[in-house]
Every structure is written in structure tokens, then in C-alpha cells.
Structure 1
Amino acid sequence: MEKVYIYDTTLRDGSQAEGVNFSLEDKLRIAQKLDEFGVDYIEGGWPGSNPKDTLFFEKIKKIKLRHAKVVAFGATRRPGKKVNEDPQVENLIRSGAPVVTIFGKSWDFHVTEALKTSLEENLQMVYETVSYLKNYFQEVIFDAEHFFDGYKNNPEYAMQVLKAALDGGADWVILCDTNGGCLPHEVYEITKKVLESFPSAKVGIHAHNDSDCAVANSVMAVLAGARQVHGTINGIGERTGNANLCSIIPNLQLKLGFRVVGEENLKKLTELARFVSELANMPLPKNMPYVGDSAFTHKAGVHASAVLKRSETYEHIDPSLVGNRRKITVSDMAGRSNLKHKLEEFGIKVDENSPELLKLVEKIKELEKEGYHFEAAEASLELLCKRHFGLVKNYFDFDAYRVLIAKRHTDDKPVSEATVRLIVEGVKEHTAALGNGPVSALDRALRKALEEFYPNLREVHLIDYKVRIVNESEGTSAKVRVLIESTDGRRKWGTVGVSENIIEASWIALTDSLVYKLLKDEEEGLT
């Protein structure tokens, strides 16, 4: 099988989507997930453009990735400037990334109107920047910005831009549909012409989705000979988004027979999609192909009856190939095998026909109906499973909590105070604490009650806190899902809580976070 290389730009292009704001910790966690999934390149951002992207490249060096190459993104040198005197080019080198991607103009209209320079100067900018960066990076990738529009307007000049990059030593030239307006037949024909003109070049595709053709355009480019595909998880990105890797990868691997990621890795696709959705704080559309909740859902009637006899009657693939599951709305029969596999990861062996496994499946389904999602909160899932089988000891008994928020006309900010009553090892603990918000106060009071008995909880720090409305139509009575990320300096984990009351949802996630730490330390013999 021929290999197609996947280049993920979720952390750069994806973060430009309206409403998406990844924290540094989000970006590092997503990078690790992408690496585990098997993407070939992870574009981390534009070093020097903002402090977060610069810090990302510093932090990612300390994380050992197993497969993916980290990529720094930037531009060609500026017009009229020497390449070795351009600060943004030097920032790319300082990033320490093994691979760099630079974009340059390939549409003559952009050169004269946006850059306000000559066509010849633009060719020199491309050649000199690529050539210079080849001295510092394992690979240099050139993004030919607006290539398809440029080719349609002035094919000779667009090709000259590619030649300048290749003459400079570019390892890949990427054809970009930056405005997202091209149609699949155009992408196929133009990509073919590029490969006929440069038969030894390694060519890729970078498509945006403004005409809802980004996935189709990417697939057509591969059929024309492109072997690197750029995109984002769930297709997030500026305007209407980027090419959706969650559709492109299975299309290439399952439908066209290309080697993209490992077969076992492909089964993690739905998990990856939901993970990124949670951290982006952007709901995953139910009807998203392959990974959406409704992608393999069948209502009662002809469809449901047929699919239960032969799944291929109304399913284009086996949902388990991408880690999703079939759902029959009146009698959901899926989930046991996936859960059994997860239990084995948690060290729990159970027969697939065990009544306890069936009860756990039903319990998880009920929680999902309430609004729980465990993809980015695996610590809560592990606790749920282990509690079901009696494998989590009772570290403390809950009695009560109370949270007060007060603001007087003389106060600049509200004051939050929480009190917590617990029974720990037979001892009644009644503590109070102030915080910069109600959840902060609750967290401090809870810790104050527990740290005397479990000093290792002092290692735990909350690194992120997200709130999402589960059922938007209910207005102020809607349920909320709280996702908390924690670390003890050695590992990171996510916990989740759901309730109509944001404080209660936070309490559930907070207590799970601390109990998970106690459980894992106990399992590892650290307590």
C-alpha cells in the first residue's frame, strides 16, 4: 500500500476558528494525542507571533513523541529584506523544531496587491528563504498560498513559484486552496499538471472548506498524485474551516487503500475527534461523517430491522473501524466489546457476556443521556468502571458543602467563601476557605479537609477548567458539563461532572480529580 502523509494543523489553522482558544496545556495534550494516533506532522504554531506559540515549542521539546514530527510555521522573508536579517525567519530557527513550513505567494494578484512588490522579487523571497532554512531543518515544506487561484489567473507564474521553492531545496511543495473556492475537478486537473511539470517533486494539498469541498478536493489531489494532506481534526479553522482529517483519513485508508495510520490507530479516530472537540469547547456535530454520534444511528423501522440482519444494508463501513458504534434508538445493542477493551486497559478482566459488564454498559449509556462525555475525561471513566467493580476504596464520606458569594457596593470584586464537611478515616472535618471564585473556594476548602490525611494531594494542581451547556434550549435551567484538567507534575488527567447546578457539576469533577490521584498513587505503591 502506498503511503499518504498526514499533516495536522489543528494547533495553528484550527486555532484560528471563531470561538476556539486553546490554552498552552490544551495544545500540548492535543499534540500528544495526535502523535499517539499516528499523524506524521504536527504544526505547532507560528513561533514569535504570540507568547503561547513560542512557549509551545519550548515545552514540546521535553515531551518524547513516538512518531510525529513537530513543525514550526512562518513566512518567506519580507520584500527588500535580507533573509538572515528577518526576525520572523530567525524565530523559526530558534523554535528548535525539526521541520519548518513557510508560505509564499503564488498568485500574481497577491504579490502586486497584497505584498506590493514585483513578481521577480517574490520569486527571490521564496528561493532565498527555502535555501536559507535548509541549513537548519531536517525538512522544509513550502506552502504555495492561493496556488489554485494563482494557477487559474497566471499558470506560468504559479509554476515559477513552485520551481523557485524546489530549486531552493524544498522537500515538499503544498498546493493551497486558501480561499476554499475550488471544485474537485479543478484540483485534480491542476495537481496533475503540477506533477507532469515536476515529476520528481513531492506534492501535497492544503484545502479550505469555503465551498464545502475541502475533503473532496483533498481526496482528488491524492488521486492526482499528491502524497501529503493538510487538515484539522473535525475540520475546525478560519471562516468555514479546513479540510476535515476525520473524513479524509478513513476515506483514503478504507475506501482507496492508501496506508495512512495503523489499523489499530484508526479505531481511535472517534475518541480523537471528541477529545479535540472537548478541549476546543466546540460541540462535535452529531451528523459529522465517521465520528459523529449519529453517523451510525438507526431509528426503529426498515433501516433498524435491516441493519440488525446485515449491517452493510445501511452502513458504508463497520463503525468499529473508526472507533464509533452503531446505535439503534429503541434498543441500543452496541458498546460491550469497546468497553471490555477499555476495562482491560484499566486492568479489569471480564467476560463479554458478564451481567456486570452489561450493567456497566447501561450505566454509561444513562450517564451519556444526562450529558456526560468521557473522551477528554478518562480519569472519570476509569473511576466509574473501577467503582462499579468495587475497586475504589472510600477515601472520604461527604456530609455537606456550602458556597457563599457576596459583593457590597464598596467591593471591586465579589468575595467567594466555601465550607466543606467530610468524614475522613472516622474523623469529622469542617473546613472553610476563600477563593477568587466559587469553584476556587470549594477546591481550597476540600483540599484543606483532605491534605492532613493525604499529603500527596498537595502535588495536585488544576490546569484547566471548562464549562459547556449540554441542552442549550433549556436556557438558564440547562444542564452544564464541567471538564477539569489536573496534574501532579508526573501525569495529567481529565475529570467531568454534569448537573443543572454549575457548583455541583464542579464538585463532581473536583472530587473525581482528587480521588483519581489517590487511587493511582495507591496502585503504584506511592502511598
Structure 2
Amino acid sequence: MERRKIEIMDTTLRDGEQTSGVSFSISEKLTITQLLLEELHVDRVEIASARVSDGEFNAVKSILVWAEENGYADRIEVLSFVDNGISIDWMANSGVKVQNLLTKGSLNHLTHQLKKTPEQHFAEIKHVIELAQSKGIATNVYLEDWSNGMRNSPEYVYQYLDFITKQPVKRILLPDTLGILTPSETAKFLTELVGRYPGVHFDFHAHNDYDLGTANVLEAVKAGVSGLHLTVNGMGERAGNAAMASAVAVINDFAPEVEIAIKESSIYTVSKLVETFSGVRIPSNKPIVGDNVFTQTAGIHADGDNKNNLYFNDLLPERFGRKREYALGKTSGKANIEKNLQELGLKLNDADLKKVTQRVIELGDKKETVTKEDLPYIISDVLDSSLYEEKVVVESYVLMHAMGLRPSATISVKIDGEKFEENAQGDGQFDAFMNALARVYDKKKRSLPKLIDYAVRIAPGSSSDALCETIITWQTDQKKFITRGLDSDQTVCAIKATQKMLNII
């Protein structure tokens, strides 16, 4: 049986940009548009609202120049308004070929916001569509607040649809503007419309105020809609829109009767780029794209994965360009440790593995974040292995910070059994420590790596005496690597992380 094709329209750059504090630059909008169409394979991209600003106009114009050159002009869309042709002129001047005309989909909005009768609104809509036709611009129509319209004024919705389905419009876009629909309502309302207006192209546009966006998308697909509006990372106003990654996974796994063009393996790449450009961090537990969603923490799960993949489901990370990881912490078991050791090319006997496992659990109890890269140090600590012997030890230090004086540090460092003492000043206590350390390494005729990133964090809700973790990224001529230190004092954390670095180099 031939599967029914459903269009995916991405509105990250229009509805998603309405996320509080988000504003994409011209180059960022162009880059995201290119990735959405050429890498992710979305069918259409809504890139802006008409008349917003000069910057928005220039961004749209830049995107349309690229789209014209590459055959995508009819897949680029802009939100427009019933404004007697002002939006039409704006779009014509920027090169836009498709408008998504915002109209009223509920009697409540029409009566209280526009203060007009349905007949007046319809006449104005008809006029705008005719103006668009005269400028070579195709029209899709949004029914703003459609979901409330179906709940509270269905007679008006049907009156509107009887009118608009006789106009030269390509698609009718049905938004759950306030994110109020339940899955059962979504199924009921859309089934009614698809049945009443056969052959009409309906798009469904879900918001996520009750965290039902993905569920509503699935019901919309089953009800027979022809298109869906999604955003990367679920960006959008308030609680955001239905998320691209979740919706695509759900459709592919639970709606075998339909076909979408989205390339699953590109979802994570595009997601991380949008995270970077928008500044909106992806929650670590967000389905498909969150940092932790393909990480097994419990030891029993890692053991089950070793025994016929007992804890796998259809959401295999490889589908989305990712891989499964096994976390190390207080719930780790031997299986977690073994999985991580395998990736490092290390193997321990059962007795040693048991000792290392116990040490990882102890560190997890103290809130320390244990990584795969930490395992050699844990092995060294637990087994006193000469293979991982610490050759550099910061034996003691004195850090001074007094008002009106530059911070200073006096340190004692043992390298291969030889002790060195140095003193230096710096712009802060840790800077003074690093300057003193550099003097030690000058004596050894060796240089230190370049510090390129320094981050400190404590667990959410912790107090001032909590353990903090310092994560330092270092760069040598050969490689970039990260070390971590744990202590209740931030500078001591950094010194512990630095000692790890000294032993790596």
C-alpha cells in the first residue's frame, strides 16, 4: 500500500524566534534555512513575519536570493497580515513567493480584537488574496485561535471554511494558538474537518503549553492532515511548539501509514546548531536531542544491554547521529565500568574491576562527576598501578590575596621525585599559581598547555559550602583535553584539575 505523504513545515525562524530573548542574525537565519532544506529535508520553511523590522527585511531578502539560485523559492514562506496590501508590498520587495496570511479562526478573536463581522473580515481577506495574486505571491491561510474556535464557536469556523475553501489558497493552516487541545479533541476536530472538506490541504500547528504537542501531532496525522508545523528543539512562545525531533520519531515509529521526508540522522546536528545560535540550552533530558537521553546510568541497565540488549527500544541513538553512553556514578555497576573501559581500550580482571567499581560509587556519593576519561586516574588511585603512577604532585601552596596588593602564590611541586619551589604574582590567585608553576616548568625546559576554557559549577539548590567542580579545557600542539577538580573551594578545585593536567602531559 502506498503511504500518504505529509509535508513538514519548519517555523523555527518565525514562531521559534518568538522565544523570549531570541533574535537570529541575518547570517544565522540563512545558515539555518540552508540546513533545514538541504540537510534535514524539511518541505517548507517559515522564515519571518512581514513588516517586523529593517533587519528582518534584509534577512528575508538574503534568504530569497539564495533560494532563487537553488530552486527553493516556493518553499520559503512568510507570515503576513490582513492590512490592505502593506504586507504584500513588503513581501514583493523582498522576493517572497508564498504568504501565510494570519486571519481570525475564532469568533472571540474576531469580535473582541478586530471588532468586525465575519462578512467584513472575509471581504478584507479576499482583497488581500487578490492583491497577492497580482504580485505573483501564493497564499496559505492561518486560522488564528482555531482550536478555541472549534471549542466555542464551531459555526463561525465552518462559515469561514465554507468561504476560504472557495478562494485560491494552497493550504489552510490550523493552529492550536494557545496550546489548549487534548489529543482526543485534536482527533475529533481534525477528523470532522478532513471529512467535511475532502481534498483540502490542512496543516496542523501544535503548541506545547500542556506538554501535549507531540501527542496532538500524532492524532493530527491519524486524522488525515496533509502537513505539520514543527520547530527545532521545540522553540516558540511560552512553552514552545511541537518539537521536530520528537514528532519525527513518533511519526516514523507509530504512523506507518504516512511518509515524511525528514532525514533523521541530521536532526541532532541541526538541533545543536540552533542551540548555539539561539542561546537557548537544550534540557539534558529532552527526548532525542538531550545530552542524557541515550545515557544508561543504572548498572543493571548496562548489564542488560550486554545480555541481548534488554534495555533497548526503537529509539536507537544511531538513527539520530548519536551513540549510547554509560554513565559513571553512585548507581554504576561493573557493567557500566566495563563498557567505558572497552572504549578506552582497557581491561581489568574481576578483582580489580570490583575495586574500581566501588571507588566510582564512592565518588558518586560525594557528588563528583566521573567521566570515562577519569577512569585511568581512578585505576591508579585504587590499584596503585605503576602504569598510571602520578609523576607530578603539587605538595603544598600558599595563596595570598590582600586589598591593594596583587595576588601571589608560593608553591612546592614534586616532579619525578625532584622538588621545586617558586613564587609569583598574578591577576588572581589561580593566575598567580599558574605563573609560579610556569617558572617551575621553565627550569625543566618544558612548556605548559594553553588554558582555553574554565568553568565552575555546583549542583542546583546547593549552598555556599557545597562541593564545586572546576572543568578546565587545555590545548597542546597535539591535542585538546579536559580535566576536572572537586573541592569546596573554587581555587583548590582548579589546582586539583591542573595537577591532573600535569600528569597527562
Superposition TM-score, scaled by structure 2 size: 0.64
Does residue 9 (structure 1) correspond to residue 11 (structure 2)? The answer is: yes
8 Å CA contact 2:26, 2:62 repeated in 1: no
How much identity, in percent, do the aligned residues show? 26
Paired residues, number: 352
Question: What is residue 307 of structure 2 aligned with on the other side?
Answer: 309
Question: What is residue 227 of structure 1 aligned with on the other side?
Answer: 226
8 Å CA contact 2:206, 2:241 repeated in 1: yes
Measured in 1, the distance between the counterparts of 2:243 and 2:78 equals 21
Question: What is residue 284 of structure 1 aligned with on the other side?
Answer: 282
Q: Displacement of 1:165 after TM fit? A: 2.4
Cα deviation code 1:368-411 (max 9, x no counterpart): xxxxxxxxxxxxxxxxxxxxxxxxxxxxxxxxxxxxxxxxxxxx
8 Å CA contact 2:36, 2:42 repeated in 1: yes
Question: What is residue 125 of structure 1 aligned with on the other side?
Answer: 124
Question: What is residue 161 of structure 2 aligned with on the other side?
Answer: 162
Question: What is residue 142 of structure 1 aligned with on the other side?
Answer: 141
Q: Displacement of 1:281 after TM fit? A: 1.0
8 Å CA contact 2:64, 2:94 repeated in 1: no
Question: What is residue 500 of structure 2 aligned with on the other side?
Answer: none
Question: What is residue 216 of structure 1 aligned with on the other side?
Answer: 215
Cα deviation code 1:201-243 (max 9, x no counterpart): 0111011111111111122111101121002101011111111
Does residue 22 (structure 1) correspond to residue 21 (structure 2)? The answer is: no
Measured in 2, the distance between the counterparts of 1:292 and 1:104 equals 36
Corresponding residue to 2:76 among 70, 73, 80? 70
Q: Displacement of 1:48 after TM fit? A: 2.3
Question: What is residue 259 of structure 1 aligned with on the other side?
Answer: 259
Measured in 1, the distance between the counterparts of 2:372 and 2:42 equals 31
Change (3 A) 1:251 1:49: same
Output aligned runs, 1:432-471, within 5 Å.
471=457
Change (3 A) 1:91 1:314: same
Question: What is residue 105 of structure 1 aligned with on the other side?
Answer: 104
For 2:326, give the aligned amino acid.
Answer: I
8 Å CA contact 2:139, 2:170 repeated in 1: yes
Question: What is residue 445 of structure 1 aligned with on the other side?
Answer: none
The structure with the larger Rg is 2
Measured in 2, the distance between the counterparts of 1:327 and 1:299 equals 9
Q: Displacement of 1:497 after TM fit? A: 11
Measured in 2, the distance between the counterparts of 1:209 and 1:119 equals 29
Cα deviation code 1:230-285 (max 9, x no counterpart): 021010111111111111112112332332125xx211111111111111111111
8 Å CA contact 1:130, 1:165 repeated in 2: no
Q: Displacement of 1:366 after TM fit? A: 5.3
Cα deviation code 1:3-53 (max 9, x no counterpart): 111111101111111122212221111111111210111111013211221
8 Å CA contact 1:6, 1:260 repeated in 2: yes
Cα deviation code 1:34-93 (max 9, x no counterpart): 11210111111013211221011211133255668111111223xxxxx3xx32232123
Question: What is residue 55 of structure 1 aligned with on the other side?
Answer: 58
For 2:7, give the aligned amino acid.
Answer: Y
Change (3 A) 1:59 1:200: same
Give the secondary-structure state (helix, strand or coil) at the position aligned to 1:129: helix
Superposition TM-score, scaled by structure 1 size: 0.61
8 Å CA contact 1:76, 1:125 repeated in 2: yes
Give the secondary-structure state (helix, strand or coil) at the position aligned to 1:49: coil
Measured in 2, the distance between the counterparts of 1:468 and 1:101 equals 46
8 Å CA contact 2:171, 2:201 repeated in 1: yes
Change (3 A) 1:155 1:19: same
For 2:140, give the aligned amino acid.
Answer: I
Structure 2 unmatched ranges of 5 or more: 328-335, 344-370, 375-452, 474-479, 485-489, 491-505
Measured in 2, the distance between the counterparts of 1:59 and 1:479 equals 40
Cα deviation code 1:107-164 (max 9, x no counterpart): 1111110112222111222333234323444642111111110121111111222233
Measured in 1, the distance between the counterparts of 2:309 and 2:469 equals 39
Give the secondary-structure state (helix, strand or coil) at the position aligned to 1:195: helix
Measured in 1, the distance between the counterparts of 2:266 and 2:212 equals 25
Change (3 A) 1:312 1:245: farther
Measured in 2, the distance between the counterparts of 1:250 and 1:4 equals 14
Corresponding residue to 1:325 among 295, 319, 323? 323
Measured in 1, the distance between the counterparts of 2:458 and 2:47 equals 33
Question: What is residue 41 of structure 2 aligned with on the other side?
Answer: 38
Change (3 A) 1:326 1:122: same
Does residue 246 (structure 1) correspond to residue 245 (structure 2)? The answer is: yes
Output aligned runs, 1:346-425, within 5 Å.
none
Q: Displacement of 1:478 after TM fit? A: 6.5
Measured in 2, the distance between the counterparts of 1:472 and 1:138 equals 54
Change (3 A) 1:70 1:499: farther
Measured in 2, the distance between the counterparts of 1:365 and 1:30 equals 33
Change (3 A) 1:309 1:139: farther
Change (3 A) 1:142 1:499: farther
For 2:80, give the aligned amino acid.
Answer: G
Measured in 2, the distance between the counterparts of 1:88 and 1:237 equals 23
8 Å CA contact 1:100, 1:141 repeated in 2: yes
Q: Displacement of 1:472 after TM fit? A: 6.8
For 2:219, give the aligned amino acid.
Answer: M
Change (3 A) 1:312 1:261: farther
- The farther-off stretch of 186-195 and 63-72 is 63-72
Structure 1 unmatched ranges of 5 or more: 78-82, 338-363, 368-466, 482-495, 502-527
